[in-house]
Each structure stands twice: as C-alpha cells, then as structure tokens.
Structure 1
Amino acid sequence: MTSPGAWLRRHDPGLVAVRRAARVTVVACLGFSVCRYVLGEPDMAAYALFGAVALGALSQIPGPPPRRARTLLAMLPVGAVLITLGTLLSFDLVAATAGMFVLGFAVSYVGVGGPRLVGLAAGTQLLYILPCFPPFDPGSLGWRIAGFALAVVLLTAAELVLWPDRSPPPYTDRLAAAVGGLAGCLDAVADAWAGRGRARLEALLPEVVDAAEALRPSQLPPGQAPASASRRDHALATAAGTARLLLGRTADLALADDRDAPDLPAAAALLRVVSGCAAAAAAWLRGEGELPDTDRIAAALREFRAARAAVPPDGIPPKRLRLGSMALQLGEWTKTLVTALRVAGGAPIPPDRTPPSARPGVFWFAREPEWALLWHRLREHLTPRSVYFQGALRLAVALAVARLLAGLFDLSHGFWVLLTILTVLRTTAAETRALLRPALIGTTIGALIAAGLLVLGVPPTTYAILLPFVMLVGFAAGPLLGPGWAQALFTLVISLVFAQVSPADWHLAEARLLDVAVGAAIGVVIGLIAWPRGGSGELHRAAAEFLADAAGVVRETVRVVAEGARPADALPRARRTGRLAEASFALYQSERHPRPGVVDWQATLVAGHHAVRGAEALVRECPTGRLLTCVGPLDLAAADVAARFEHVALGLARRDRTALTAPTLPPPDLDWPTDLGVDLYHLADLRVWLDGLRDDLSRVLAARSGAPEPAVDVRVRLAGIADGAPG
C-alpha cells in the first residue's frame, strides 16, 4: 500500500503545490488575524486575506523566488489603483458593470506582454471585483489599500524565506544543450564527408533531437519559455527557432551523401566554421565563454562564395550542386543564430542589410526600446483574429454580465459569482462544461459542511482555529485532487472567513451555492457563444493565413532573385501572420485534446517559417536579375510550391480533411540550364530552398502508425520540433 508521503511526492514532485499552499495560508491567516483581532478593522482584514489569495493562489507568477518577489512588489500600485476604482464605481450598478468590462478586458489583454502578465491576470481581476460591490463606502478605501499592501509585503517576504521554491534551470541551459549538440552534428557531417565514418553522426542525431524537443514550450515549466515582449525574449525565441531549422537542415545533409559535389571541400570548410560558431554560442549560453561575434561566420560565408565562384559549374548536373547550397543555408542561419544571441546579450550587431522595401527584417526588435516593443505587441494583437484579444473579450463580457445580474437580482455576496467565472471559464466550451459538474458538486458539499458548522453556532475562535488547516488543504487540493475538491474546501474557507467578519448563519452557505451556480451558468453560456473552439478554431484560420502568405513569399522571392523585381510586402506580412499563428498554437497546446488530429501543427508552422527564413537570406545575399534565362522553369517551380502551400491553407481554412489527405501531383519535370557559369550556384540555392519547402509540406499530416527507418525517423522527429519557432 502506498504511503501518503510517497503518494504526495509522486503527484507533487518537489512539494511545489504544498509549499505554495503553505505560504499563502500563513500570509493570509496572519494578515487576517492581525487586522481583525489586533487592529479591529474588518475591512482591512478582508483585503489582507483576499489580497493574499489573489496574488498567491489565483496568480501563477513564473521564475525564481527573487523575481517573483519583485513582481509582487510591482503589483502594489496596480492593486491600489484597481481597489480605488472598484470602491469609487460601486455607487452605481451601470458604472460598476462598465468598469468591470473595461478593466476585465484590459487586465486580461495585457497578458499578451508575456508569461508574468498572463499569470497575474486572474488574481488581478479579483482586486477590482472585491470592492466594486456595495456598500459604497469611500471612507474605507484607506483600510482596504492598507490590507492589500500588508498582504503584498507578507507574500514578498514569504517567497524569499518561507519554504522558497527551487529556481528552475534557466532556459539558456536547454538552448545551450541544443546548440552544442548541433555543433557536434555539424562537425560529424564534415567528418563523414572526409570519409571518417558516419557512426558518430548517427549516434549524435537522436541525442540532439531530444535536446531540441526539450525546447518546446509544451516541455517547459510554466512561464519559462521566452514569450514576453522584451528584446531579450525576442532574441532567445529567434535563436531557438533558428536552432531548430538548423537541425532540420543538418539532418538533410546527413542523408545527402554526395561526395562528388564540385564544392565539397569549400562546403566542408564552411561546416567546420559553422560548427565552431555554434560551439562558441553554446559555451556562452552556459556561461563558459565570450559572446561570439558574427565576423567569423561572415568571413567564412564570403570565402565559401568566393571558392564556389572560382570553380565554374558549367555542364555539372544540377543535383550535384545541392550540397553546397544546403551548406550555405546552414551558414546563413548560423549567422542569424549568433546575431540573435548578441541581441540577447546586449551586444552590438551588424547593420540590417534587408532591402528597405522588405523591412522590417528578422531583427526589427534589436534597436527598439522596451516600451516600444510592448506597445508593438499590444497593437499587433488588437484584432479579433488574435487569441489574446478573443480570450480577453470573452472574459470581460462574462464578468460584466455577471456583475450586472448580481446587481439586478441583489445577490448576497455577489462577488462570488465573478470569482466562479475566473475559476471555471476556459478557452474552449468543452473544457468549461467539463469543469461545471465538479465545481457544482464540490460547492454543494462544501456548502453543506459550512451550513452544519453555522447551524451548530460554534464560537468564533473555533472558526479562527479551523481556518488555517482548511485553507492549507484547500489550496493544495486543486492541483493534487482536482477542481471539485478545491471548490468544496474553498467554499468552506470563505464561510469560515465571513463568519469571523460579521454575524452569519446557514444562509451564508446557501448564498455561496447559488452564486457559484449562477457564475458557472454564465461561464458556460459565454463559452458557447464566444469562440467556443478556443485555440483549435483560431489555429486553423491563423495557420491557413500564414501558409497562404508563405505562398506569396515563394512567388515574390523567385521574382526578386531571378528577375530583379523590387520586393513588396510579402515577407513583413508573413512574419506578422506567423506570429499570430504561433500565439494560436501556444493556446492550442495549453488545451486538452483527447483525440489526435489529422494535422501535425508543428510541421505545418515550420514549413511557413522555413519559407520566411530562406527567403530572407536569398533576398539579402543573392545577386538579383541574373537568372533571366531560366525564369520560365523557375516560375513553374515556384508556382508548384506556392500552389501546394495554398492547397494546404485552403484545406485548413475549410477544415477539409479530404483535401488535406488527397495525394498531390508529383513536382513538374523541368529542363534546367547547365551553362550559366557561377549563376548556376544561385540557381541551385533557389532550387534547394524550393525543394525543401515541398518536402516540409509533405509532413503536414500527422504521422500514421508504422515504424519508419531510423534515419527517416530522426528526420521526421526533427521536422516536428519547431513548435514555437519565432517570427
């Protein structure tokens, strides 16, 4: 039989949930008891307790304890403003409801700025909800703010000294493992080209795939992914996405064993430099070396291009030029990786060489102030097509409707209605309905127990003694036992608190049950009306738009490189829609999906990112207008790839499984020239990019049963590690 301690450690590794529940319990009970029984101020006591609950239990603040403590202190002025607005707007039902809608939307929407803001949203909402109900008592505002301030100060101290959580390993450690493994693989590929055997490469690839998979946001602790609007997080996300693309191309090189390529020696030399730059980047990420610069990789790229130009490839079959083009792509992406890390480290970077008409470039954020980056993120997602906007509007409407109904029907303790919405409303209607039953059953059980205590008429000291024990178990019950237990115990906690603030009888438990039922009903109705599919529904549309824009990138890039056309807005537009698609995918990953879908969303998004990244390098580095003699076959090849992107995009937008699973036509059999001199290399660069995109799209459908060959399995896994590739 499993002991309670073993069960607890199995369900709560590191006792994170228990330690957090203990901190909140100590702070809430200490603040409440001092204010209620020592100072004799019931208003201050209520805000000391609910302030601790809001920021300690309802909020999820990521990061190590010192960072969480700083975040809590930063919430002091924000909470004071929200409590003030709630108090002043409680004089009128319309004013309180309007304030609830505006502030409910604003508080939820600012979560677009990063994980810390997302984690604070639910708790911050409570700081307005609590005072926006009658009685209208501006005279108590000072005590309310004082109680909240006491809760913040005590929580801050508790985070630092009271059973502090262990600091999670930094994200840079995981990125260092992936980049370091990439360096080893690149060196092993160069060794394999030199005939030194492929055993080391075959042994390294699976390990590097595991390291890259550890970078997935779905594999990270909450809030650890670099998802904020800060310059550093933008840079780390760009570096991680580039590393994943590099790994995919490395696997392609590992499978392409063309030792007769005319530029093999130059490609091998380039790969050695790329490997060294990746190793230096990994060392810096581990804190063991200097921040690398881009001079070395830039010089290697120049030398490679010069070496290629010195060996005219006339008469050589086009397929034999692929290896050098793939190595060149690796070099360009490694330069992007190093540049991203320099931005993350606060070091200067080379000027942006993106053509003015194709800007902003990939490092558009590098020279922007932090406030401008946050403002850009807020503006970019202020659209009904953003999942952040949808979620904020859904919650704001639900809270405003709940506030209006609570006022119209004069519900006793009506703030419980809104608190229920905060805990029950989820991004999909299915998840909201799934929480409804345990919430109601748990609340009913808790209300019956609370009514029994109130009917017995036990002394108030008994409530004070019971409160910390019930609160500790209640706050730990949610993550360990489920929402039903959490609702039951929290109902009991609230009853014990209000029984100490003012005289109460069993009707208090009855009011709690009614309010929870009303709040749950409102949450279910709003969840059914407003974007009921959640991330899944928006992801189909966002990914479809991203792939359609990627098709535009393909057509435009070929026109620019082959014909010398002026770049239009295809690249900036695809970067923008790619960021919205990534936000939708992040939400999709946070939801429950009992059945696997037909679409491999990770492979779908990496196809779009591959189109954008490859186009950026081609437009920036390839001479333009020198492939006019082969515009015909290039246009046909680009049209074929673009049509495949558009075909998948249409299938996603229409949710048409038949269209997605229907076999596609083979690529066109084109007649390529072999007498263009060194421009044949540029033609090969374009063709490698187009062929890679066609290969990416072949993996959009989720993998079916059957064990692929080991090498193919590694390539398939590499194709699927790009969730969270940056824009």
Structure 2
Amino acid sequence: MWRWVRKRDPQLVVVRRAVRITLVACLGFYFCRYVLGSAAMAPYALFGVVALGALSQIPGSPRQRARTLIAVLPVGWVLVTLGTLLSVDTWAAAAGMFVLGFAVSFVGVGGPRLVGLAAGMQLLYILPCFPPYDPGSLPERLAGLTLAVVLLAVAELVIWPDPTPPLYRHRLADAVSALAACLDALADHWSGAVPSGPPAAPTPDGLAAPTPGGLAAPTPSGPAGEPTPDGPAAPAPGPERLAELFTTATEAADALRPSRLPPTERPASAGQRDRALASAAGTARLMLGRALDLAFTDHREAVTGPAAAKLLRTVAGCVDATGAWLRAEGPLPDTTLVAAAITDFRVARMNTDPNGLPPDRLRLGALALSLGEWTKSLVFAVRLAAGEPPGHPDPTPPSAQPGLFWYAYRRTPALWWHRLRENLTPRSVAFQGALRLAAALAVARLIAGVLDLSHGFWVLLTILTVLRASAAETRSTLRPALIGTVAGSIVAALLLLLGLDPIVYVIALPVVMIAGFAAGPLLGLGWSQALFTLVITLVFAQFTPVDWTLAEQRVADVLLGAAIGVLIGLFAWPRGGAGELRRAAGTFLAASAAVVRETVAVMADGHEPGDAMPKARRAGQLAEASYALYQSERHPSATLDWQATLIAGHHAVRGSEALIKSCPAGGLLPCVTQLTTLAASVATCYDRSAGALMRGETPPRPPVPPATEWPDDLGQDLYIVADLRVWLDGLREDLTNITGRPEPADDLRTRVAQVADGAT
C-alpha cells in the first residue's frame, strides 16, 4: 500500500496536505463545538479549512502560502458577511451569488494564485447563504473563519510542511544555459577547420551529418576556438556533439511549456515579473530555433564568418550570464556587451563589399545578427523580472504601440486593470467561464430557496465540483461524481441506521477526512465524493439528531446540482477554451500576415507604417490569455503544437519590429518585386493557417517557395535583403512546426524539432 502511494505521490504532497487539513479542521471544529460550545463557530472553523485548504490550490513555498492565507482573510470576512446578510431573502441571495460568483471567478485572470483561491472563496459565500438564517450569529461565524485561517496558516509552516516546488526561474535558467552551450559550440564550429568533399557518413546512432549547407565533421588536426594549455586548440565540435547539445536544449525549453507545468507554477499573473519571465521563455525558444538554422547554414564561404563568430561568442556569453543570474550564481547581466558586439558586427559588414556575392553567403551574418537582437530582448526581459526599471522611456512609436515591453512602463495597478479589461469581453475564455459558473450558482441558489432545501448548499457545492470549462469535460466528471455520491450515501445511511454512540462519530471523523482529502488526487473524483459524503454525515451527526434520510437528501441535492451544471454547460459556450483558442490563434496569425506584408512594403517601397503591428500585438495578448485558460482544461492529445502556433505569430511581430528599427525604409526598390512576392507567399501561408484554425481544421504545410533570381549589385542593401530573407524563411519554418515535422527523416533538424513538438 505504501509503495503504491509513494509511486503516485513521490514527495507525499497529497498525503501531507490531507493530514494537515484534517488536523487543523478537526482541531478547530472540536474546540468550537465541545470546548466553547458554539454551534455557530464550529461549522466555519471546519468549512473554512475545507474552503482554503482542500478546495483552494495556493502556489508557492509554505511561507508564501501562509502569507496568502492571512492576506485573503479580510476577503473571507466580506464574503461571509454578505452571505449572512443576504441569505434572509431568496432573490437577494441569488443576485449576490451571481455577482460575487462572477467577480470571484473572473479575477482569476490575474494569475494562478487567484485562480487557485476561486473555488474556496466561492464556498465562503455559499455556506452562510443557507439555514440557519441567523444574522445575529455573524460575529461567531467570523470568529470561526478567523480561527480556521490562522490555524491553517500556522500548520503550513509547522505540520509536515510541503517541499518548496522548483522555481520557474530555475527551469528558465536550465533552458537558457543549454541554449548558451549550443551557441558556444556553434561559435567553436565556425572557428574550426572544415574539410571539403562529400558529406560524412551516418553515425552509429543513426544521426547523419548533413550535406554541404549543413553541419560537416571537423578535421581532428584543425584548430578551433582558443588554444588549449597543451598547445593546439581543441577540435571544433562535430555533428554528434551538436546534436546532443541541441537535443538537451530543446528538452529544457520544452519543460517551460505551460502544459508541462502545474497551473500554480506558471508565470501567468498580471504583474511585471511574470510577464517578463514569460517573455524571456518565449524569446529563448525563438533563439533556439534560429540557432538550429545556424547549425544548418554553410559557413565555409560566409563573407562575414569571423565577425559573425565573434558576435555569436559574445551572444553565448551574455546568454550564459543570464542563466547564471537566474540560478543566483552571478550578477545581473545587462545589454551593454551584446549591443557593442552588434555595433562591431554592423561595422564589419559595412567594411565588406557584398556586391557580386550570392545571397547564401550573406545568410550566416543575418542569422547571427537576429540572434544578437533577440539576446538584447532576453537580457532586458530578465532585468525586468529582477525588478530593474527600464532606464529609458518606451521607444515604441505611439502609432506602433503596444510595444514588446509595454508592461515595463506601467505601474502594477495599471497592469492588473489592463488584464481585467482585456478579458472583459464575451470573446474571452475567462469571461465565459466566470459567467457560466455565476449563472449556474445563481440558478441553483434560487431553486434551493424556492424549494426550501434544508441542505441546499450541497447543490452549489456539487456545481463547484462538476462544472468544467466545456460541456464534454463536465459530462466526464458527472458519472464518477454521481456514482461516488450514491455509494457514499448508502454507506452513510447504513451507518446512521446502526444508531451508534456519538463518540464514534467524533473518533471516525479525522480518519475519514484524511482518506477523503487524499482520495481525490490519488484515486479520482468518485472516491473523493464518496468519502466526502461520509465526512458531511459525520459532521452533521454531531450537531443535531439525524437519520438515514440525511443521505437521501445528499443524493437528491447532488443530482439537482449536477443537472443544473450540465444544462448550463450545454447552453453557455459548450466548447470551452478549445473553440476560443482556435479563434484567437487564427486571428493572431491573420494579423501577423498583415505585419509581414506591411513590413516589406515599408522597407522595400517606402510606405508609412500602418496599424498592423499594434493590432497584431493586441491579438497576441488575447491569444496568450486564451492559451493560458486552455491549459487549465483537460484535453485529448492535441494534433497541433499550440505554443509553436503562438511563436509563429510572435516571430513575425518581433522580427518586424527589429527590422524596421534597424534598417532604412524604402531603400530596396531594385528588388521590390522579389521581396513583395516572397512576403506575399509567406503571408498567404499565414492566412491559410489562420483560416484552417478558425474552421476547426489542421493548418496545411507551407509549400516550397519558387526559385527566384536576386540582384547582387545593391551594395550594403544586400545585407538588408539578407536580413529580410532570413526573417521570412524563418516564418515559413515556424508554420511547419505547428503540426510537427514528418517523422521519416533522421537528421539533426528533424530529431530536435520532434522533441520540441512533443512527437514520440
């Protein structure tokens, strides 16, 4: 038995929590009921612990959870007070249930800490909404709640405290450091001597060295990088080592996906710190994709190879310093070094005439430059996460706002208000979920009042238990909830028929509570409902004389609550987050297509920037919010990589901003036809993917672009053309990642992409 528990709960987090909640709930309940003799305090001492201990999921370390409990105590007082005062009138109580039910649920858009508290805070209003209707007992009710919260906060610190969960910044540090190792190895590879001739044969593990234009094996005798103490420099890393580094880096970046993290550990709050950490994680994944492109770029004849290698070495050092700071092993980095390296690289390009050179010889420098620009964004985001002020006004022109780091220039209250306002729309999944739950709870309270149900709060408690974000998910929870409730009610009825001495109920309560609170996570909803039915029976048996009809009432109330939850779920946005995510992601990709067209029109034809950029940024914010809510639901195996979908949009927006900021507008008229054709091809692929998402279909793979003749006599403008082509080619590659790559190939690019896309 113990081995089975340890297998399902290795750190005993569930068991610890069940023991802690049971001890606190029973201590408060027995003290109020049998020592103080207060029948008004006892239920709130018990259900206050159930609400904030069992129904709530509070993130952080034990100390952080204890602080959160004390901080929300005044909110609990307000909810209990309103529930008590409004309970005397059925319509007033139902109206209060709708307003407070919506408000408590909707504020969860502020982050996982508020989401985790929502269900528990709902119960604090529901409990006083039902008999006995006794406003005069409000002081005792508040005292019982206060005792429960204080005891629970103390217990978090002293009773078998949970291990502190790994920090998100440490996960980010692993991903960033692994990325730095890849970049450093690529710099070594460029500095190494590379043999000419045919490509290397497949390695024993099946990873073939790519053909020219990809990775080639270095000669053992050639120098690479810095000299070793023994004389010659070590050889540049071969394809096997690079494959190993990229696979490790991709797995570390994959561990940052919201779907791989518990909801309470995701950086999803409205504050600056979490926004910056999320931005840094997205930038790191973008950089990993471009670093992989670099690994498959022929560097042997690159015109700016040495300068690009120097830039990449600086980039690798800055990224590594960022990872060290995230692990608290180094000082906070800044953008000075990488900005200077970018300037040096641009000077080196200006001093190198590109006329007459084929475009592929300029690709290496363009990729290195894009990595340098994104490294500045990565470091800046991490500095914001550390609480450092931006140090300068927002450089984004008013016509292009909101910029990438718009949140760095607003105060925390404004950020919270912005999060609430952007979700205060029927197209927001958070708004839909809050309205659905509020309507279900209000209808249930109204029916319970009209039918004069003595234990009507069970109806609302059932709705909190079974109602999910989609009708399909609600139906999936319905069967185990009903079976568990009926089974628990049968056992409870038999127990009450035996007419046992009340002391038996006192002794049995903590045992059944521990089993009940541990059963949900370990065994499933059915076991949890069965044991919780027994808990309620044992509690009420210690207040008033009860008989087997209590179990009958419990079943009837659960059936009523389940019916209300199912009906509301069917009529109010039954598709849940999946439908809205498709719409929001499709809108984001369509807006990104407009960004692609506008960027090339500005740079090649001298057009004035329009509103494509700000529209795309706003669409991206709503898509990210929809994705965060989608991750809180249960879904079958997805055929789409939703994070790759959002990254395809972010890459378009971020790349456009960097290009427009660093390159002159309207200077590429000699090749405006080629650039416009290429941009139109990429934008059409974005539009097709957007349309497929909105229709509920799988986006098609982008076709191979047609061969195009490019001029080679534009002087320094050839470098700008190379930068644009690298950006556009990368966007086409990003769209390929949405549905994953075909599996038959066995080269480095495919194997790493499969890890990133979650392929088996």
1:341 maps onto 2:382 in alignment = yes
Q: Give, in angstroms, the shift of residue 324 of structure 1.
A: 0.7
Number of residue equivalences? 714
Match status 1:86 vs 2:127: no
**1:692 is aligned to 2:718:** no
Are 1:326 and 2:377 an aligned pair? no
1:36 aligns with 2:33: yes
Shift of 1:350: 4.7
Corresponding residue number in structure 2 for 1:57:
54
Distance in 1 (alpha carbons) for counterparts of 2:55 and 2:747: 46
Identify unmatched segments of 5+ residues in structure 2: 193-223, 225-235
- State which drifts further: 477-486 or 426-435: 426-435
Q: What is aligned with 2:657? A: 616
Residues 402 and 617 in structure 2, CA contact (< 8 A), matched pair in contact too: no
2:541 matched to 1:499? yes
CA-CA distance at 1:701 after TM superposition:
2.2
Question: Structure 1 721/447 Cα, relative in aligned 2: closer, same or farther at 3 Å?
Answer: closer
- CA distance in structure 1 between the partners assigned to 2:344 and 2:17 by the alignment: 57
Matching residue within 156, 159, 172 for 1:159: 156
Q: Counterpart in 1 of 2:749?
A: 712
How far 1:556 moved relative to its partner? 1.5
Give, in whole Å, the separation in 2 of the partners of 1:319 and 1:630.
16
Q: Distance in 1 between matches of 2:27 and 2:490?
A: 27
- 1:719 to partner: Cα distance: 5.2
Partner SS state of residue 223, structure 1: helix
Conserved? CA contact 1:16–1:165, under 8 Å: yes
Match of 1:398 among 440, 455, 460: 440
SS in 1 for 2:667: coil
Measured after TM superposition, the shift of residue 141 of structure 1 is 0.7
Whole-angstrom CA distance in 2 between matches of 1:664 and 1:61: 43
CA distance in 1, matches of 2:644, 2:293: 15
Deviation at 1:665, TM superposition (A): 4.6
Task: Kindly state the Cα deviation for residue 108 of structure 1 after the two structures are TM-superposed.
Answer: 0.5
CA–CA separation in structure 1 for the residues paired with 2:644 and 2:169? 24
Q: Does 1:181 align with 2:178?
A: yes
- Structure 1 residue 673 displacement after superposition: 2.0
Look up the equivalent residue of 1:670 and give its one-letter code.
Answer: T
**1:404-443 superposed matches below 5 A:** 404-443=446-485
Aligned to 1:230: 271
CA distance in 2, matches of 1:527, 1:193: 58
**1:446-499 CA-partner distances (Å, limit 9, x unpaired):** 111211222222222221111111111111111111111111110010011111
CA distance in 2, matches of 1:259, 1:399: 68
Specify the code of the residue in structure 2 equivalent to 1:684: A
Shift of 1:582: 2.3
Cα displacement string for residues 181-232 of structure 1 (whole angstroms, at most 9, x for unaligned residues): 1111111111111124332423311111121112122222341121111111
Q: Deviations over 1:302-346 (max 9, x none)?
A: 111111111121111122211111111000000000001111112
Find the counterpart in structure 2 of residue 8 from structure 1: 5
**In 2, are the aligned partners of 1:209 and 1:714 still within 8 Å (CA)?**
no
Aligned to 2:616: 574
1:184-583 correspondence to structure 2 within 5 Å = 184-195=181-192, 196=224, 197-199=236-238, 200-351=241-392, 352-583=394-625
Q: Do the aligned partners of 1:540 and 1:653 also contact (CA within 8 Å) in 2?
A: yes
TM-score, length basis structure 2 = 0.91
**Structure 2 CA distance for aligned equivalents of residues 478 and 664 of structure 1:** 45
What CA distance in whole angstroms lies between the structure 2 residues aligned with 1:279 and 1:664?
A: 34
Deviations 1:58-109 (A, max 9, x none): 0000111000000000111000000011111112111111111111111011
User: In the TM superposition, what is the alpha-carbon distance from 1:359 to its structure 2 partner?
Assistant: 1.8
Structure 2: how far apart are the matches of 1:253 and 1:689?
13
Q: Quick one: distance in 1 between partners of 2:610 and 2:543?
A: 66
Q: Which amino acid aligns with 2:588?
A: F
**What's the Cα RMSD here?**
1.7
> Could you tell me how far apart the structure 1 residues matched to 2:16 and 2:629 are?
28
**Where has structure 1 moved over 4 Å in runs of 4 or more?**
none
Cα deviation, residue 603, structure 1:
2.4
- SS of 2:265's equivalent in the other structure is coil
Could you tell me which runs of 5 or more consecutive residues in structure 1 were left unpaired when the two chains were aligned.
723-727
Q: Distance in 2 between matches of 1:118 and 1:110?
A: 8
Distance 2:453 2:116 in 1: 29
Matched residues in 1 for 2:523 and 2:758: separation?
32
Counterpart of 2:118?
121
| 1:167–1:148 distance in 2 versus 1, CA, 3 Å | same
Letter in 2 for 1:346: G
Percentage identity across aligned positions?
65
> Which amino acid in the other structure matches residue 280 of structure 1?
A
Shift of 1:32: 0.6
**Which amino acid in 1 is paired with 2:705?**
P
> Does 2:714 match 1:676?
yes
Matched residues in 2 for 1:679 and 1:645: separation?
A: 27
Matched residue type, 2:678: A
Letter in 2 for 1:145: L
> Offset of 1:134 from its aligned partner?
3.7
Larger % of helix: which? 1
